[in-house]
Protein backbone atom coordinates (compact mmCIF):
# COMPACT_ATOMS: atom_id res chain seq x y z
CA UNK A 1 0.00 0.00 0.00
CA UNK A 2 1.50 3.30 -1.15
CA UNK A 3 -0.04 6.60 -0.06
CA UNK A 4 -0.26 9.75 -2.23
CA UNK A 5 3.16 10.90 -0.98
CA UNK A 6 5.00 7.70 -1.84
CA UNK A 7 5.10 6.30 1.69
CA UNK A 8 4.59 2.55 2.09
CA UNK A 9 2.01 1.72 4.77
CA UNK A 10 3.33 -1.34 6.57
CA UNK A 11 2.21 -0.75 10.17
CA UNK A 12 -1.30 -1.00 11.59
CA UNK A 13 -2.21 0.02 15.12
CA UNK A 14 -5.43 -1.58 16.30
CA UNK A 15 -7.47 -0.30 19.23
CA UNK A 16 -9.48 -3.21 20.62
CA UNK A 17 -11.35 -1.12 23.21
CA UNK A 18 -11.79 2.52 24.21
CA UNK A 19 -12.04 1.46 27.86
CA UNK A 20 -9.27 1.68 30.41
CA UNK A 21 -8.93 0.98 34.10
CA UNK A 22 -6.94 4.21 34.56
CA UNK A 23 -7.80 7.85 33.82
CA UNK A 24 -4.44 9.41 32.96
CA UNK A 25 -4.72 13.18 33.06
CA UNK A 26 -3.21 13.81 29.62
CA UNK A 27 -5.33 11.10 27.96
CA UNK A 28 -8.85 11.09 29.43
CA UNK A 29 -11.32 13.19 31.30
CA UNK A 30 -11.96 12.01 34.86
CA UNK A 31 -15.57 11.17 34.02
CA UNK A 32 -15.56 9.33 30.70
CA UNK A 33 -18.44 8.03 28.59
CA UNK A 34 -17.42 4.87 26.80
CA UNK A 35 -18.86 3.29 23.67
CA UNK A 36 -21.74 0.81 23.96
CA UNK A 37 -20.40 -2.71 23.50
CA UNK A 38 -22.73 -3.29 20.53
CA UNK A 39 -20.76 -0.70 18.52
CA UNK A 40 -17.48 -2.54 18.92
CA UNK A 41 -16.13 -4.95 16.37
CA UNK A 42 -16.11 -8.52 17.62
CA UNK A 43 -12.75 -10.15 18.15
CA UNK A 44 -13.41 -12.24 15.03
CA UNK A 45 -14.09 -9.08 13.01
CA UNK A 46 -10.92 -7.44 14.33
CA UNK A 47 -8.90 -10.46 13.25
CA UNK A 48 -10.52 -10.42 9.81
CA UNK A 49 -9.61 -6.76 9.28
CA UNK A 50 -6.05 -7.37 10.44
CA UNK A 51 -5.73 -10.27 8.01
CA UNK A 52 -6.99 -8.03 5.22
CA UNK A 53 -4.32 -5.44 6.01
CA UNK A 54 -1.60 -8.08 6.18
CA UNK A 55 -2.68 -9.33 2.77
CA UNK A 56 -2.18 -5.74 1.53
CA UNK A 57 1.38 -5.50 2.86
CA UNK A 58 1.19 -4.62 6.56
CA UNK A 59 4.09 -6.30 8.36
CA UNK A 60 3.63 -5.01 11.91
CA UNK A 61 0.55 -5.03 14.13
CA UNK A 62 0.37 -3.19 17.43
CA UNK A 63 -2.63 -3.85 19.67
CA UNK A 64 -3.71 -0.87 21.76
CA UNK A 65 -6.71 0.50 23.65
CA UNK A 66 -7.69 2.22 25.87
CA UNK A 67 -6.05 -0.59 27.75
CA UNK A 68 -6.14 -3.64 25.45
CA UNK A 69 -5.90 -6.23 28.20
CA UNK A 70 -9.21 -5.16 29.76
CA UNK A 71 -11.06 -6.38 26.64
CA UNK A 72 -12.84 -9.61 27.54
CA UNK A 73 -11.28 -12.70 25.91
CA UNK A 74 -8.67 -10.55 24.13
CA UNK A 75 -6.19 -13.44 24.19
CA UNK A 76 -8.40 -15.13 21.59
CA UNK A 77 -7.47 -12.31 19.23
CA UNK A 78 -3.77 -12.56 20.07
CA UNK A 79 -3.82 -16.29 19.34
CA UNK A 80 -5.45 -15.67 15.97
CA UNK A 81 -3.03 -12.93 15.04
CA UNK A 82 -0.10 -15.01 16.26
CA UNK A 83 -0.91 -17.59 13.61
CA UNK A 84 -0.06 -14.97 10.98
CA UNK A 85 3.47 -14.88 12.41
CA UNK A 86 3.67 -18.62 11.90
CA UNK A 87 2.37 -18.27 8.33
CA UNK A 88 5.05 -15.72 7.48
CA UNK A 89 2.64 -12.96 6.50
CA UNK A 90 3.41 -10.89 9.57
CA UNK A 91 6.81 -9.86 10.93
CA UNK A 92 5.83 -8.53 14.34
CA UNK A 93 2.91 -8.60 16.76
CA UNK A 94 3.18 -6.32 19.76
CA UNK A 95 1.12 -4.19 22.12
CA UNK A 96 1.09 -1.12 24.31
CA UNK A 97 -0.26 -1.59 27.83
CA UNK A 98 -0.49 0.24 31.13
CA UNK A 99 0.71 -2.97 32.78
CA UNK A 100 -1.97 -3.18 35.48
CA UNK A 101 -3.21 -6.62 34.43
CA UNK A 102 -0.10 -7.76 32.60
CA UNK A 103 0.96 -10.16 35.35
CA UNK A 104 -1.76 -12.65 34.39
CA UNK A 105 -1.28 -12.32 30.62
CA UNK A 106 2.47 -12.01 30.03
CA UNK A 107 3.28 -15.70 29.47
CA UNK A 108 0.22 -16.20 27.24
CA UNK A 109 1.28 -13.21 25.14
CA UNK A 110 4.73 -14.70 24.70
CA UNK A 111 3.14 -18.00 23.66
CA UNK A 112 1.23 -16.10 20.94
CA UNK A 113 4.46 -14.76 19.47
CA UNK A 114 4.63 -11.36 21.13
CA UNK A 115 8.30 -10.51 21.68
CA UNK A 116 8.17 -6.83 22.66
CA UNK A 117 5.81 -4.76 24.75
CA UNK A 118 5.56 -1.04 25.45
CA UNK A 119 4.46 -0.17 28.98
CA UNK A 120 3.23 3.31 29.86
CA UNK A 121 4.85 4.57 33.06
CA UNK A 122 5.18 8.30 33.71
CA UNK A 123 6.63 8.23 37.21
CA UNK A 124 8.35 5.88 39.62
CA UNK A 125 6.74 7.57 42.61
CA UNK A 126 3.63 5.70 43.83
CA UNK A 127 1.81 8.85 44.95
CA UNK A 128 2.55 10.68 41.74
CA UNK A 129 1.41 7.62 39.83
CA UNK A 130 -1.91 7.67 41.65
CA UNK A 131 -2.21 11.40 40.92
CA UNK A 132 -1.53 11.24 37.17
CA UNK A 133 -3.68 8.11 36.67
CA UNK A 134 -6.35 9.34 39.11
CA UNK A 135 -6.75 5.82 40.50
CA UNK A 136 -3.76 3.61 39.70
CA UNK A 137 -1.65 1.34 41.89
CA UNK A 138 1.95 1.34 40.69
CA UNK A 139 2.64 -1.96 42.50
CA UNK A 140 0.38 -3.73 39.98
CA UNK A 141 2.37 -2.20 37.11
CA UNK A 142 5.64 -3.32 38.67
CA UNK A 143 4.22 -6.84 39.02
CA UNK A 144 3.25 -6.73 35.35
CA UNK A 145 6.71 -5.57 34.32
CA UNK A 146 8.31 -8.37 36.35
CA UNK A 147 5.99 -10.90 34.70
CA UNK A 148 6.88 -9.60 31.26
CA UNK A 149 10.58 -10.00 31.98
CA UNK A 150 10.00 -13.50 33.33
CA UNK A 151 8.13 -14.39 30.14
CA UNK A 152 11.06 -13.23 28.04
CA UNK A 153 9.35 -10.13 26.63
CA UNK A 154 11.54 -7.17 25.73
CA UNK A 155 10.17 -4.16 27.61
CA UNK A 156 10.20 -0.54 26.54
CA UNK A 157 8.92 2.13 28.93
CA UNK A 158 6.89 5.01 27.51
CA UNK A 159 6.94 8.21 29.59
CA UNK A 160 4.90 11.31 28.80
CA UNK A 161 6.99 14.36 29.69
CA UNK A 162 4.92 16.81 31.76
CA UNK A 163 6.07 20.20 32.95
CA UNK A 164 6.20 20.64 36.73
CA UNK A 165 5.13 17.03 37.28
CA UNK A 166 7.79 14.46 36.42
CA UNK A 167 10.67 16.66 35.21
CA UNK A 168 12.79 15.83 38.25
CA UNK A 169 12.51 12.08 37.52
CA UNK A 170 13.84 11.92 33.96
CA UNK A 171 17.41 11.06 34.90
CA UNK A 172 16.15 8.58 37.50
CA UNK A 173 14.01 6.93 34.82
CA UNK A 174 17.07 6.54 32.59
CA UNK A 175 19.00 4.89 35.41
CA UNK A 176 16.08 2.66 36.46
CA UNK A 177 15.51 1.44 32.90
CA UNK A 178 19.23 0.95 32.34
CA UNK A 179 19.55 -1.26 35.43
CA UNK A 180 16.77 -3.51 34.09
CA UNK A 181 17.74 -3.59 30.43
CA UNK A 182 14.77 -1.53 29.26
CA UNK A 183 14.74 1.05 26.51
CA UNK A 184 12.92 4.28 27.41
CA UNK A 185 10.88 6.64 25.27
CA UNK A 186 9.85 10.19 26.16
CA UNK A 187 6.66 11.50 24.51
CA UNK A 188 5.20 15.00 24.23
CA UNK A 189 1.60 15.47 25.34
CA UNK A 190 -0.74 15.81 22.35
CA UNK A 191 -3.88 17.97 21.94
CA UNK A 192 -6.53 15.26 21.61
CA UNK A 193 -9.96 15.45 23.25
CA UNK A 194 -11.23 17.58 26.11
CA UNK A 195 -9.45 16.43 29.27
CA UNK A 196 -9.93 19.28 31.75
CA UNK A 197 -6.38 20.50 32.58
CA UNK A 198 -4.79 23.17 30.40
CA UNK A 199 -2.39 21.44 28.02
CA UNK A 200 -0.19 24.54 27.90
CA UNK A 201 0.53 23.89 31.57
CA UNK A 202 1.27 20.21 30.86
CA UNK A 203 3.31 20.64 27.69
CA UNK A 204 7.07 20.15 27.83
CA UNK A 205 9.14 20.02 24.62
CA UNK A 206 10.97 16.72 24.47
CA UNK A 207 13.91 18.55 22.92
CA UNK A 208 14.47 20.18 26.31
CA UNK A 209 14.29 16.74 27.96
CA UNK A 210 17.04 15.53 25.67
CA UNK A 211 19.19 18.59 26.36
CA UNK A 212 18.78 18.11 30.09
CA UNK A 213 19.65 14.41 29.95
CA UNK A 214 22.72 15.23 27.90
CA UNK A 215 24.14 17.02 30.92
CA UNK A 216 24.23 13.78 32.94
CA UNK A 217 24.42 11.01 30.35
CA UNK A 218 26.52 10.40 27.24
CA UNK A 219 24.00 10.31 24.39
CA UNK A 220 24.98 9.28 20.86
CA UNK A 221 22.81 9.36 17.75
CA UNK A 222 21.81 5.95 16.39
CA UNK A 223 20.03 4.89 13.21
CA UNK A 224 18.08 2.29 15.22
CA UNK A 225 14.33 2.26 14.47
CA UNK A 226 11.43 0.07 15.58
CA UNK A 227 9.09 1.10 12.76
CA UNK A 228 7.37 3.78 14.83
CA UNK A 229 7.91 7.55 15.15
CA UNK A 230 10.60 7.56 17.86
CA UNK A 231 14.11 8.79 17.15
CA UNK A 232 16.72 7.12 19.35
CA UNK A 233 20.03 7.79 21.03
CA UNK A 234 22.36 5.29 22.69
CA UNK A 235 23.21 5.82 26.36
CA UNK A 236 26.86 4.95 26.88
CA UNK A 237 26.59 4.46 30.63
CA UNK A 238 23.69 1.96 30.51
CA UNK A 239 24.01 0.34 27.10
CA UNK A 240 20.31 1.03 26.50
CA UNK A 241 18.48 3.47 24.24
CA UNK A 242 16.33 6.52 24.80
CA UNK A 243 13.69 7.39 22.22
CA UNK A 244 12.04 10.76 21.69
CA UNK A 245 8.60 11.20 20.12
CA UNK A 246 8.08 14.83 19.17
CA UNK A 247 4.71 15.42 17.47
CA UNK A 248 4.73 19.05 18.57
CA UNK A 249 8.31 20.33 18.30
CA UNK A 250 9.20 18.26 15.24
CA UNK A 251 6.55 16.13 13.61
CA UNK A 252 7.49 12.75 12.20
CA UNK A 253 5.06 12.82 9.29
CA UNK A 254 7.61 12.66 6.47
CA UNK A 255 8.28 8.99 7.24
CA UNK A 256 4.81 7.96 8.43
CA UNK A 257 4.19 4.31 7.61
CA UNK A 258 1.11 3.65 9.75
CA UNK A 259 -2.64 3.90 10.01
CA UNK A 260 -4.92 3.32 13.00
CA UNK A 261 -8.04 1.22 13.35
CA UNK A 262 -10.47 1.90 16.18
CA UNK A 263 -12.47 -0.72 18.02
CA UNK A 264 -15.56 0.33 16.03
CA UNK A 265 -13.91 -0.29 12.66
CA UNK A 266 -13.09 3.33 11.88
CA UNK A 267 -9.77 3.76 10.11
CA UNK A 268 -7.83 6.95 10.77
CA UNK A 269 -5.15 7.62 8.22
CA UNK A 270 -3.55 10.22 10.50
CA UNK A 271 -3.55 10.52 14.29
CA UNK A 272 -3.92 14.29 14.09
CA UNK A 273 -6.64 14.56 11.44
CA UNK A 274 -10.38 13.89 11.61
CA UNK A 275 -10.74 12.27 8.18
CA UNK A 276 -11.59 8.59 8.55
CA UNK A 277 -12.94 5.59 6.67
CA UNK A 278 -15.69 3.23 7.81
CA UNK A 279 -14.50 -0.36 7.50
CA UNK A 280 -17.26 -1.81 9.66
CA UNK A 281 -19.88 -1.31 6.95
CA UNK A 282 -18.21 -3.46 4.24
CA UNK A 283 -17.01 -5.89 6.91
CA UNK A 284 -20.56 -6.65 8.04
CA UNK A 285 -22.36 -6.18 4.73
CA UNK A 286 -20.14 -8.79 3.05
CA UNK A 287 -19.28 -11.39 5.71
CA UNK A 288 -18.07 -13.91 3.14
CA UNK A 289 -16.38 -11.56 0.67
CA UNK A 290 -13.31 -9.46 1.54
CA UNK A 291 -13.38 -7.69 -1.82
CA UNK A 292 -15.39 -4.64 -0.65
CA UNK A 293 -13.29 -4.43 2.53
CA UNK A 294 -10.07 -4.42 0.53
CA UNK A 295 -11.50 -1.77 -1.79
CA UNK A 296 -12.39 0.40 1.20
CA UNK A 297 -8.85 0.04 2.54
CA UNK A 298 -7.37 1.05 -0.83
CA UNK A 299 -9.64 4.09 -1.03
CA UNK A 300 -8.63 5.16 2.48
CA UNK A 301 -4.90 4.84 1.85
CA UNK A 302 -5.35 6.87 -1.35
CA UNK A 303 -6.34 9.89 0.75
CA UNK A 304 -3.85 9.56 3.60
CA UNK A 305 -2.78 13.17 4.36
CA UNK A 306 0.76 14.48 4.33
CA UNK A 307 0.76 15.22 8.05
CA UNK A 308 -1.04 16.42 11.14
CA UNK A 309 -1.85 19.93 12.39
CA UNK A 310 -1.09 19.54 16.10
CA UNK A 311 -0.47 22.78 17.97
CA UNK A 312 -0.48 23.71 21.65
CA UNK A 313 -1.89 27.17 22.34
CA UNK A 314 -3.68 29.13 25.02
CA UNK A 315 -7.11 28.50 23.51
CA UNK A 316 -6.79 24.98 25.00
CA UNK A 317 -8.83 23.65 22.09
CA UNK A 318 -7.83 20.11 21.12
CA UNK A 319 -6.56 19.66 17.57
CA UNK A 320 -8.98 16.75 17.22
CA UNK A 321 -12.08 16.13 19.29
CA UNK A 322 -11.61 12.39 19.97
CA UNK A 323 -9.62 11.26 23.00
CA UNK A 324 -6.35 9.43 22.57
CA UNK A 325 -8.01 6.33 24.03
CA UNK A 326 -10.41 6.18 21.07
CA UNK A 327 -7.67 6.00 18.44
CA UNK A 328 -5.17 4.08 20.48
CA UNK A 329 -2.21 6.41 20.07
Question: Which residue ranges make up the annotated binding site for S-adenosyl-L-methionine?
Answer: 26, 66, 120, 190
* Residue of 205, 271, 243 lying closest to 62 (CA atoms): 271
Residue list, annotated binding site: 13, 20, 24, 26-27, 62, 66, 96, 120, 156, 190, 253, 256, 258-260, 270
The residues with which 162 forms a beta bridge, in sequence order, are 203
Burial of 56 (C-beta count, 10 Å sphere; 0-12/13-18/19+) = middle
Helix (H) or strand (E) holding 243: strand 241-245
188 contacts 245 by C-beta, under 8 angstroms? yes
- Range list of H helices, the chain: 43-55, 74-87, 106-111, 126-133, 138-150, 170-180, 199-202, 206-213, 280-285, 291-301, 324-327
Using CA atoms, how far residue 269 sits from 168, 252, 257, 261, 275, in Å, is: 36, 14, 10, 9, 7
- The 3-state secondary structure of 11-34, one letter per residue: EEEEECCCCCCCCCCCCCCCCCCC
The closest of 165, 101, 168, 172 to 128, measured between CA atoms, is: 165
DSSP state of 91: S
Annotated binding residues for [4Fe-4S] cluster, as ranges? 20, 24, 27, 253, 256, 270
Long-range contacts of 224-227 (CB under 8 A, 24+ apart): 226/116, 227/10, 227/11, 227/60, 227/92, 227/257
Annotated binding site for GTP: 13, 62, 96, 156, 258-260
Number of H helices, E strands in the chain: 11, 12
Amino acid sequence: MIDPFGRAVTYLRVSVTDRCDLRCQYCMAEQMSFLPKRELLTLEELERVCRAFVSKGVRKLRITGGEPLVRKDVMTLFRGLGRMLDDGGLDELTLTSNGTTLAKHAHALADCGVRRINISLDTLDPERFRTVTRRGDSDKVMEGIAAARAAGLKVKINTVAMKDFNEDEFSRMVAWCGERGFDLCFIETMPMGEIGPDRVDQYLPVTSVRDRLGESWTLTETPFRTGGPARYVDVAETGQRIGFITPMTHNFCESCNRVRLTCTGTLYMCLGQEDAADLRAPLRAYPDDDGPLLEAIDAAIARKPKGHDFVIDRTNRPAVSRHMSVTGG
